[in-house]
Structure 1
């Protein structure tokens, strides 16, 4: 950094340090003790979508390398694209294979970087889940060399075998049981009376569209995780860099 940069308050960009990913397994132990979140075995690398034969060749090489692992406990590596146009190379391991998952993430980043696609790399993540079915991601920012937690606030998913499936299913079926059709809402407001009968040949009115659910982050949980992992990971201190990863694989 030059003297002029110091005077103007410019900061030197942090060089990518992929070896930071290897701190995840030990951080996962701290995370489970502090919050009860455990690895799900899902992880992914996000990058700006790239077109061209060079990238396709690199993608095939990376996928072949990772799929050749005979100890893989989950699905083969796959390429997905989210609703925002970003690409995710997804690896699925068994929950007790976090170290192997980290090796996958490191290999994907390294291969893309070595083939000239470093500028397109955005982040990598590993997914976690607690007994209440809440999902959490530890996100590694490639261009910052730091981590941050991301947690979406929403309906908890009952874990299979937890004894809560019936309660969740009952909530989903509420209003759909016997006699529910007699009091359905109709466009324009109000309810159909019990004696309502549709005229022969009359078209069925469309059901009113439901507004999309609002997306909210669980900021309290994110800050709790930040404090718990301060000694285990290089946590991103600039909260404006904690970008939401809505719809990311594993979440």
Structure 2
């Protein structure tokens, strides 16, 4: 951050970090066995809203790239914008590994195009709860909504305790931001 940024109170967004996402592949067995939570066949990449034509072209390129993976890639990919203006790239399919690889490919493409500060989170459904990966913090945290703007915090802490060591878990619960009404 430069001198003028400091003087005028501007902050820079932390670029998204994608490498820790692959830790979920090895933690899947712990999630399914210890938490009795199978992968819910849905995952998503959550992006901050970007309004320009180069981003629209990039989104088409991402969809083309993901569809080119052919028979080996079993996830069906769709895009959606929520009522808050966030973009969701949604992966539906039975294979968690495909979702992780697809999310990683899409995130890398965004980073290469200069949109790494748009990467907010990756979200995975497991049974009745979600596992969220914060690209800015390079860590995971559980999210279990129980109704309209309510969550089961005690269960989230039990999930954290179970997954600590298997995944890089966000240590500060104040940073466990909820993603209400996810389209997954």
Asked if Structure 1 and Structure 2 have the same fold, meaning a TM-score greater than 0.5 normalized by the shorter chain, the answer is yes
Q: 2:15 touches 2:117 (CA, 8 Å); kept in 1?
A: no
Would you say 1:138 and 2:131 are equivalent positions?
yes
Of structures 1 and 2, the larger Rg is shown by 1
Distance 1:16 1:50, change over 3 A: closer
Query: Mind listing any 5+ residue stretches in structure 2 that lack a counterpart?
Result: 1-12
Deviation per residue, 1:35-84 (Å, 9 max, x gap): 11010221111111111111011101111111122234343x11111122
Q: Which has the higher helix share?
A: 2
* Matching residue of 2:62: 62
Query: Mind listing any 5+ residue stretches in structure 1 that lack a counterpart?
Result: 1-12, 130-134, 155-213
Q: 2:16 touches 2:117 (CA, 8 Å); kept in 1?
A: no
Would you say 1:92 and 2:26 are equivalent positions?
no
Question: 210, 213, 238: which one pairs with 2:172?
Answer: 238
SS at match of 2:62: helix
* Matching residue of 1:217: 151
* Matching residue of 2:5: none
d(CA) in 2 for partners of 1:39 and 1:231? 20
Q: Which has the higher strand share?
A: 2
* Matching residue of 1:193: none
Q: TM-score, normalised by structure 2?
A: 0.87
* Matching residue of 1:105: 103
SS at match of 2:114: helix
Q: 2:15 touches 2:136 (CA, 8 Å); kept in 1?
A: yes
Distance 1:119 1:39, change over 3 A: same
CA RMSD in angstroms, aligned pairs only: 1.7
Superposed, 1:146-225 pairs within 5 Å as 146-154=139-147, 214-225=148-159
d(CA) in 2 for partners of 1:32 and 1:113? 31
Q: 1:42 touches 1:93 (CA, 8 Å); kept in 2?
A: yes
Distance 1:15 1:49, change over 3 A: closer
Q: TM-score, normalised by structure 1?
A: 0.64
d(CA) in 2 for partners of 1:24 and 1:69? 21
Q: 1:15 touches 1:144 (CA, 8 Å); kept in 2?
A: no
d(CA) in 2 for partners of 1:114 and 1:92? 25
